[in-house]
Amino acid sequence: MSPIVKQALFFLILLDALIVCSQITHPKASPFSRVEQEIGLSKISVAYSRPAARGRTIFGGLVPYGRIWRVGANESTKITVDTDMTVLGHNLPKGTYALYAFPEKEEWQITFHTNTQHWGDGRKNYDSNEDLFRIKVAPKSIPYHQENFLVNFDFITHNAANLNLIWADTMVSIPILVDTHGQMQLEIAKQLNENPTAQTYYEAARYLQEQGTDFKTALGYLNKALELGGDTYYFHRVKSLIEAELGDYKAAITSAKESLRIATKLEKDEFVRMNTINIKKWGALVTGKGN
């Protein structure tokens, strides 16, 4: 290689290096965001980018009807679930998936896609055979303008939540179910079989009380918790609620009074107020029964 050619190559390499070094990091038009939500003992995470409407017609315009949409901008939107879940009767195993949509005016198809390597919606590389499943949901008009595309969760319980996709004047809700009760039954059995404390029995009882189920078992757990030394205002408070659910209002009043006594001493004003209200309410029920 001649000296002139070597010198030319050197300057080309130097020019490339200068170009790389001179690149400016700039803010994205559609900034990245991540939303996480606990559902019972499980967690869902959605990683996506948030394009703005900027006065444009969104669905049927910027996002054409009948064509795949990445549910955001930039990279494909990713949804991660840390336990098995259910979406409209379809099993969603633990893992990460690309979330795609096929919007139409009256109905959307939402796809949970197993190939997470595509940039954006994948276009020609998208293969429906790699869909885990598709669901159909109806879009709803919202009474306000959502400028930046938004993913959030609502109607959250121990066992369920709605995943909402919101942009411009439109919202799509995807119902997701989790078998938290099954998980809790296994967890309760495990903890009670190892080295249970008063707090262990209390937490098991409180869960059943919050779920509105198996109150007799819950009361047995509370009695065991108190037997092991859990003489606290919140132990007695939950015991009173369980006894009331079982229709034993006299016992509920006794437990509520004990909770009230301890809460008053510790200046726990909220528990003082709640116990006072319940004592009055349950007292009226006892009187009404002629007891």
Full strand arrangement of the beta sheet holding 42-49? 32-39, 42-49, 77-81, 95-102, 108-113, 131-137
| Alpha-carbon gap, residue 217 to 95, rounded angstroms | 35
pLDDT tens track for 96-123 = 999 999 999 999 999 999 999 988 776 7
Segment 230-249 shows an average pLDDT of 95
State the pLDDT at residue 215: 96
pLDDT tens track for 33-83 = 999 999 999 999 999 999 999 999 999 999 999 999 999 999 999 999 999
Residue 10 CB coordination number (10 Å): 10
Question: Is residue 54 helix, strand or coil?
Answer: coil
| Alpha-carbon gap, residue 12 to 67, rounded angstroms | 43
pLDDT tens track for 117-175 = 988 776 778 999 999 999 999 999 999 999 999 999 999 998 999 999 999 999 999 99
List % helix, strand, coil for the chain (3-state, nearest 5). 40, 30, 30
State the pLDDT at residue 24: 72
Segment 202-220 shows an average pLDDT of 94
Higher pLDDT residue, 155 or 10?
A: 155
Segment 182-208 shows an average pLDDT of 93
> Residue 17: is its pLDDT beyond 70?
no
> Residue 90: is its pLDDT beyond 90?
yes
State the pLDDT at residue 226: 94
Choose among 109, 85, 104, 105: nearest CA to 95: 85
Quick one: what percent of the chain has pLDDT higher than 90? 81
| Alpha-carbon gap, residue 65 to 76, rounded angstroms | 18
> Residue 18: is its pLDDT beyond 90?
no
pLDDT band of residue 237 (cuts 50, 70, 90) is: very high
**pTM for this structure?**
0.77
